[in-house]
Chains A and B, each alone.
Chain A
Amino acid sequence: MTIKSRYLSAVALICVFSCAAVCASTWRLGLLGDGGALLISKKRQPLTLAPGLVNEYASKNTENFVLGGGFDVAYDLPINSVWHTLFGIRGEYFRAPDQNNRGVVHPLINQGGNFDRLDYHYKMANYLLLGNVRWLWALRNSVLHPYVNMGVGVAWDHLFDYTEVTPDGSTAAPMRTPFRGRTRSQLAYGFGIGVERLKKNVGMQIGYEFLALGRGQLGTTSVQSTNEVLKTKPIYMHLFELAFDIVI
């Protein structure tokens, strides 16, 4: 260890211990709710369902309102009397309005014709578990304390209730056995900014958060002779977040 690094280590230790004397570490337990925009880009995907049968599934842009709710548990480790670092775990469940993921089926595209189409839609729910880090700037003489947070974890994207509908004027009929639902675990990450109001042992945070939840996919049908499945483009959310913590 060089002299310089030893010096830096000593300074850090002094900072931590000096703060520990005046800023005690605490745990926080909280509930959070958020709402905002669910965004998935459109995609055209040919699927081979059987030898000689290729349908194209053209999804539309998903731009819908999504609601979420969950919990967070955090360990508040003050760096000094102004800066806090909160290490935590956050779990959340998101659900967009039903049938918000829509598209058009172009059947038998391998035949080269322009055949009557079908409309399709399916539902989606997302479960999220993130390891979260929050840096909080506890400004003196201010009731609001700004913060920045980042998280990395796992999202379980559950796509289900795939349904096909015959549009007016079309003679195409829905497939008799629809795609099954599937839950797919994906790498998820997010970051956000906001402000906190801490009064006695209760904290309230209001902020913006961006989440990326990976890509979802439906299952196969029970009669399908291939393993090809319908997949989404990456799932993004822009959320307005409101959370309440109890400091213990």
Chain B
Amino acid sequence: MFTKHNIFLAIATSVCSTIAWASPIFTVTPMSSSFSVTKGTTAEMQYDIRNVSGRSLTITNESVSQSSNVTSDAIAADSDCENSTLANNADCTLDIDVTGNSVGSDTVSPVVCAFNGQLCSTVAVGTSTTVVPQNTFNCATNSTTKECRVFTSEGTYKGDLSEGSGAVNTATCQSDASGVTKGNCICEKEAAAQGYGHPGHWRVWLSTETSGAISNIRYTSGGSLKYVRAGDTNTEVAAQGDLIGVNLTNSIKANGVGDFCVYTATQGSTGVIPGGGEKDCNGWTSTAAELGSVANGNAEGTNSIAVIGGWSRASNDECPGPLLCNKNLYLYCFEIPQ
């Protein structure tokens, strides 16, 4: 007698017995899920190559798919896969020298072959590789003009700087810090994730009742610092000494690319918005919705921070209020001098 259960079992058994899942001959597994290289430099990418063919195979050829932004055809001499004979289930490490040609991202897919190139395997999904701008900034030097970088975070964060959507993994920041210190930690993580380098020198643009964002990023009006976009160092954001008091040369974020509302709590010549806890989510520790209007900036704006309707204090038209501490907004991250 056929019950629904029996019919289901019969169908499942039939399907399972007729589907034979295919398997690789070599598994090609990246040792890191993403990779970045600075333009004009070469870095080493590593893959684990495992022979799962059921028999011994000798690796006779290795190559890498070509792409425009990176050159990755050079197999490093120290690769222990070169001409290796791998027993079944044995593995080796494939080293690939990747050279960044132009800023952008590409997918790198190595190919490993046996039998003189007649039997080849590759990765099911290529490794995302980012070529980051060449390190032409000199924020860390003692020159008269120090060119520092600034960017808008990739992810969004709430009023207590807990992770919102698209945030980088900030687990250590969340557990070890609070307030502006947590924001600085988040900027460090964001800068690292985007391949901007210069670890230990990224700070968030957030003010509190007692401390201004200006001092957090070590800025002095009329001083030696100028700012450029971190993702496009040819685009100046603020001329030397002109971050405060005058309009920006260009907005911090390119126009038309995603959302643009940023937590700042920073306005006026001093940078600190009067009102304290009402405006800075209790020192960036609260996600409460009832704290009132929180100051926020427009990352696509260029108007001076001295006015409402600018890059550090958006108008209600730009970022419709009230923007409360439970909203997911972006953060500004500034590179600081040594």
Interface residue? B118 (CB, 8 A): yes
- CB <8 Å contact, B25 and A107: yes
Interface residue? A26 (CB, 8 A): no
Interface residue? B55 (CB, 8 A): yes
Cα–Cα, bound, A55→B96 (Å): 29
Q: Looking at chain A, what size class is its interface with the partner chain?
A: 20 to 34
Interface members, chain A 213-232 (any B CB < 8 Å): 221, 223-224
Interface members, chain A 76-91 (any B CB < 8 Å): none
Interface residue? B197 (CB, 8 A): no
Give the interface centre of B20, B23, B63, B112 by most chain A CB atoms within 10 Å: B23
Cα–Cα, bound, A49→B116 (Å): 10
Interface residue? B120 (CB, 8 A): yes
Interface members, chain B 105-128 (any A CB < 8 Å): 111-113, 115-124
- CB <8 Å contact, B116 and A172: no
Q: Least Cβ distance of B55 to chain A in Å?
A: 6
Q: A176 to chain B: which residues have CB within 8 Å?
A: 61, 63, 113, 117-118, 120
Cα–Cα, bound, A125→B111 (Å): 32
Q: Least Cβ distance of B30 to chain A in Å?
A: 13
Encoded as 1 (CB less than 8 Å from any A CB) or 0, chain B from 38 to 80 comes to 0000000000000001110000010100000000000000000
Interface residue? B22 (CB, 8 A): yes
Q: B2 to chain A: which residues have CB within 8 Å?
A: none
Q: B113 to chain A: which residues have CB within 8 Å?
A: 173, 175-176
Cα–Cα, bound, A53→B57 (Å): 11
Q: B23 to chain A: which residues have CB within 8 Å?
A: 113-116
- Stretch of A134-142, A163-171, A193-201 contacting B (4+ beta carbons < 8 Å): A163-171
Interface members, chain A 97-151 (any B CB < 8 Å): 107-108, 111-117
- CB <8 Å contact, A223 and B120: no
Q: Least Cβ distance of A20 to chain B in Å?
A: 66
Q: Least Cβ distance of B54 to chain A in Å?
A: 5
Q: Least Cβ distance of B58 to chain A in Å?
A: 10
Cα–Cα, bound, A50→B63 (Å): 21
- CB <8 Å contact, A170 and B120: no
A175 nearest in chain B by CB position: B118
Q: Given A111-B53, A112-B54, A114-B20, decide whether A171 and B27 contact each other with a Cβ distance below 8 A.
A: yes
Interface residue? B28 (CB, 8 A): yes
- CB <8 Å contact, A111 and B54: yes
**Interface SS majority for chain A:** loop
Give the interface centre of B27, B111, B113, B122 by most chain A CB atoms within 10 Å: B122
Q: A41 to chain B: which residues have CB within 8 Å?
A: none
Q: Which of A107, A112, A113, A166 contacts B119 (CB 8 A)?
A: A107
Q: Least Cβ distance of B85 to chain A in Å?
A: 13
Cα–Cα, bound, A107→B115 (Å): 12
Cα–Cα, bound, A248→B263 (Å): 92
Interface members, chain B 1-45 (any A CB < 8 Å): 20-28
- CB <8 Å contact, A174 and B120: yes
Q: B61 to chain A: which residues have CB within 8 Å?
A: 176
Q: B53 to chain A: which residues have CB within 8 Å?
A: 108, 111, 113, 115
17 more contacts with CB within 8 A, not counting A113-B53, A166-B122, A172-B122, are A52-B55, A107-B25, A107-B119, A108-B25, A108-B53, A114-B20, A115-B22, A115-B24, A170-B22, A171-B25, A171-B28, A171-B123, A172-B25, A172-B121, A173-B122, A176-B118, A177-B117
Ordered by A's residue number, 29 sampled pairs between the chains whose C-beta atoms are within 8 Å are A49-B118, A50-B116, A53-B119, A55-B119, A107-B25, A108-B53, A108-B119, A111-B53, A111-B55, A113-B23, A113-B53, A113-B54, A114-B23, A115-B24, A116-B22, A116-B23, A116-B24, A170-B22, A171-B25, A171-B123, A172-B24, A172-B122, A173-B112, A173-B122, A176-B61, A176-B118, A177-B117, A223-B117, A223-B118
Leading 6 A-B pairs by shortest Cβ distance: A176-B117, A173-B120, A173-B122, A171-B24, A223-B116, A173-B111
